[in-house]
A and B are shown apart, each in its own frame.
Chain A
Amino acid sequence: MGGTPAQEIDVVQAVVELAGLSVRFGKREILTDLRAALSGRTLGLLGPNGAGKSTLIQTLLGFCPIAGGTARVFGHDIRQHLRSIRAQIGYMPENDALVADMSAVTFVRMLGELSGLPARAALERAHEVLFYVGLGEARYRKLGTYSLGMKQMAKLAQALVHGPRLLILDEPTNGLDPSARQRMLRLIRDIRDSGHMHILLCSHLLRDVEETCEEVLILKQGRIVHHANLEKERSANKRFVELETSGDEGDFAQALAQLGCACTAVGAGRYKMVLPEDFDLRAVYRVAAERDLPLRRLSYRRDTLEDIFLKAMEGDPKRDELRLGSQI
């Protein structure tokens, strides 16, 4: 069954499209000729401090002057349709942006109204989202009395109040203790799984991005050094298997090779294999059972986001960009 036309458009259309985007503050170039099309449900924006992650977000929101190129959000050009773009975005900034002498429910309601919600609907939504992020009991307290974790949740609530299509989260787990961090990541995953919106998560914490995102864009010195679909990379990694047995059978590697695997012994009872397409892993167990050889470990080699990030950081941005350009 095909989806509705709107759904089909949503699938095809890039959420964020960068078309040679450059941003300059004075003589300093912050973002240089960014080109990418991000279409995943959850997009991770990675990079070391000063890479230009926050500037990219602020440019998408229309805060920063564009020096060259452009960007499109849901097909709307940020140079021309800023208002309609902003209407579809919920933004959670990195810094403490809450007005201290307002209660959470009043503040979230006001921002909901500014996004176009009628007063009554905004009040209802403010209560809903504050309950959703876990601030239901504290919603009448002044924001100035909130702990850092509660402030982060309040910022998330105001970003959600108007039901945006794209949620931009700038360092959402900054300053959170482990349990609060887990709660925040759980919420992000829940929002992602609800299917109502796309998420653009900007963080320098690789683990946060790895746990929540399916597509990553890595920036370094204002340039894109890597753009990857984590899901595809993970599925590609499933062909690489590491195996460990408790004994050492000389013909085990040979038997696996006869099944079509490229197998190399890398030590006593340790093997590395590349599986052929559509390979059934049960065949490995069968071969081991035939030789009465206990298998101690069988794992997919996992190229972690950290590996991807470190590889990206090693390269020269200009050279990497040329490489990316030639791939395109």
Chain B
Amino acid sequence: MAVYKQTYKDYGGPRTAAWSRFLILMRYSYARLFQSRFLVLFLALCFFYPLGCATLIYLSHNSPALAMLKLQSNALPAIDGTFFYVFCVVQGVLALLLTTLVGPNLVAPDLANGGLALYLSRPFSRTEYVAGKMTVLLVLLSGITWVPGLLLYAIQASCTGWTWIKPNLWLARSIVLGPVIWILILSLIALALSAWVKWRIAAGACILGLHFVGAGFAEAINEILRTRRGSLINLGEVIHTIWGSLFDTSRATDLSVMQAWIVLGVTCALCLGLLARRIRGFEVVK
């Protein structure tokens, strides 16, 4: 419509496929998120450790380079389950911090501004809304966890060949599955807490608090009641238990793998319940 002719004009053009519309939220969310230089800088920092690991793998298979650096090959850590477990732990902590930075910006502004009515009055469901917002975190966190982990595995595999791949094929599954479980839990917690408190700063504090205060309370319960059941509210311990089983490490944990899975299941259910209550086109004022 020309600027000089300001009359209403109907739209009769084509429409996009309904299934793909949740990706629109992801695109716009990224555009907003990457306006923050701090976030871009932090994201760049998240790749330092994977780069260091890649260098380590390269060096461990490059005798001339080791000789040049005057290093013995046995001085370098072995590339095995423990190596990738440590990788997951380091990147997992970074994933938690990244979730604290990104998560509250996704849902809280929409809820605080009452914008959900505008989204949900369109051919766009609550599930699609949550999926769209969650995809932002899933893609971002995948980029710093299992994707570089799998790349490291590929580098190691390309350096050693089939003789290493064959007995370590299970590692590839663990490298993907371990971080995926963690980022799913982180994303759900971030969205649920943001939807609950509706305030970015408070939501960020809640996400961090849930992990660190939870761990503190767990330790206090363990010490006071002389039990190890307090670790059930320590999400860090829970995920370490699962990772330990996935990477076949000998790390001693307070919980059984079954208990850890139950805690994760309950956490997911609580988050989904909270999202179902909060992500609505209207609010009932009591």
A residues whose Cβ falls under 8 Å from a Cβ of B: 25, 58, 61-64, 83-84, 86-87, 89, 91, 93, 95-102, 106, 110-111, 113-118, 121, 125, 128, 131-132, 136, 158, 160-163, 190-191, 194, 196-197
B18 at the interface (CB under 8 A from A): yes
Q: Let me know if B120 and A196 touch, CB within 8 A.
A: no
Given A97-B117, A99-B109: A114 and B122 within 8 A (CB)?
yes
Which residues of the other chain, B, contact A64 by a CB distance below 8 angstroms?
Answer: 282
A113 to B11, CA, bound (A): 13
Closest to B120 in A: A63
A297 to B246, CA, bound (A): 94
B254 at the interface (CB under 8 A from A): no
CB distance from A192 to the nearest CB of B (A): 10
Q: Let me know if B123 and A87 touch, CB within 8 A.
A: yes
B121 at the interface (CB under 8 A from A): yes
Q: Let me know if B115 and A99 touch, CB within 8 A.
A: yes
Given A110-B24, A118-B13: A97 and B114 within 8 A (CB)?
yes
Q: Let me know if A114 and B119 touch, CB within 8 A.
A: yes
Closest to B284 in A: A25
Given contacts A63-B121, A93-B117, A114-B124, 17 further A-B contacts (CB under 8 A): A63-B120, A83-B125, A91-B117, A93-B118, A98-B118, A102-B32, A111-B122, A113-B16, A114-B25, A117-B11, A121-B13, A132-B6, A132-B8, A136-B3, A194-B7, A194-B8, A194-B10
CB distance from B115 to the nearest CB of A (A): 5
Q: Let me know if A116 and B12 touch, CB within 8 A.
A: no
Q: Let me know if A91 and B15 touch, CB within 8 A.
A: no
CB distance from A81 to the nearest CB of B (A): 11
Q: Let me know if A91 and B118 touch, CB within 8 A.
A: yes
Closest to A64 in B: B282
B280 at the interface (CB under 8 A from A): yes
Q: Let me know if B115 and A113 touch, CB within 8 A.
A: no
Q: Let me know if A91 and B11 touch, CB within 8 A.
A: no
Which residues of the other chain, B, contact A63 by a CB distance below 8 angstroms?
Answer: 117, 120-121, 280-282
B interface secondary structure, majority? loop
Q: Let me know if A190 and B7 touch, CB within 8 A.
A: yes
Closest to A60 in B: B121
Given A84-B123, A162-B11, A163-B12: A116 and B18 within 8 A (CB)?
yes
Given A106-B28, A115-B122: A163 and B11 within 8 A (CB)?
yes
B41 at the interface (CB under 8 A from A): no
Q: Which 3 A-B pairs have the closest CB atoms?
A: A163-B11, A116-B15, A63-B281
A102 to B33, CA, bound (A): 12
B277 at the interface (CB under 8 A from A): no
B residues whose Cβ falls under 8 Å from a Cβ of A: 1, 3, 6-16, 18, 21, 24-25, 28, 31-32, 109-110, 113-115, 117-125, 280-282, 284
A62 to B120, CA, bound (A): 9
CB distance from B208 to the nearest CB of A (A): 23
Q: Let me know if B121 and A131 touch, CB within 8 A.
A: no
Given A25-B284, A114-B21, A114-B24: A89 and B11 within 8 A (CB)?
no
User: Which of B15, B109, B113, B120 lies in contact with A117, CB distance below 8 A?
Assistant: B15
User: Which of B3, B8, B114, B122 lies in contact with A86, CB distance below 8 A?
Assistant: B122
A93 to B23, CA, bound (A): 25
A194 to B8, CA, bound (A): 7
Can you list 20 pairs linking A and B with CB atoms under 8 Å apart? A61-B120, A63-B282, A84-B123, A87-B123, A97-B117, A98-B113, A106-B28, A110-B28, A113-B16, A113-B24, A114-B124, A115-B124, A116-B21, A125-B11, A128-B1, A128-B9, A132-B1, A162-B122, A191-B8, A194-B10
Which residues of the other chain, A, contact B16 by a CB distance below 8 angstroms?
Answer: 113, 116-118
Given A132-B6, A160-B8: A96 and B281 within 8 A (CB)?
no
CB distance from A145 to the nearest CB of B (A): 14
CB distance from B16 to the nearest CB of A (A): 5
Q: Let me know if A83 and B123 touch, CB within 8 A.
A: yes
A176 to B104, CA, bound (A): 33
A258 to B117, CA, bound (A): 62
Which residues of the other chain, B, contact A102 by a CB distance below 8 angstroms?
Answer: 32
Q: Let me know if A96 and B113 touch, CB within 8 A.
A: yes
Q: Let me know if A86 and B123 touch, CB within 8 A.
A: yes
Q: Let me know if A97 and B118 touch, CB within 8 A.
A: yes
Closest to A84 in B: B123
Q: Let me know if B28 and A97 touch, CB within 8 A.
A: no
Q: Let me know if B1 and A121 touch, CB within 8 A.
A: no
Which residues of the other chain, A, contact B119 by a CB distance below 8 angstroms?
Answer: 111, 114
Q: Let me know if B114 and A83 touch, CB within 8 A.
A: no
A117 to B15, CA, bound (A): 5
Q: Let me know if B122 and A93 touch, CB within 8 A.
A: no
Q: Let me know if A131 and B122 touch, CB within 8 A.
A: no
A214 to B284, CA, bound (A): 31
Closest to A165 in B: B10
Which residues of the other chain, B, contact A117 by a CB distance below 8 angstroms?
Answer: 11, 13, 15-16
CB distance from A274 to the nearest CB of B (A): 42
A194 to B5, CA, bound (A): 13
Q: Let me know if B115 and A98 touch, CB within 8 A.
A: yes
A115 to B119, CA, bound (A): 9
Which residues of the other chain, A, contact B28 by a CB distance below 8 angstroms?
Answer: 106, 110
A86 to B126, CA, bound (A): 13
CB distance from A34 to the nearest CB of B (A): 18
User: Which of A25, A91, A97 lies in contact with B113, CB distance below 8 A?
Assistant: A97
User: Which of A91, A110, A197 lies in contact with B121, CB distance below 8 A?
Assistant: A91
Which residues of the other chain, A, contact B15 by a CB distance below 8 angstroms?
Answer: 87, 116-118
A83 to B3, CA, bound (A): 33
CB distance from B83 to the nearest CB of A (A): 42
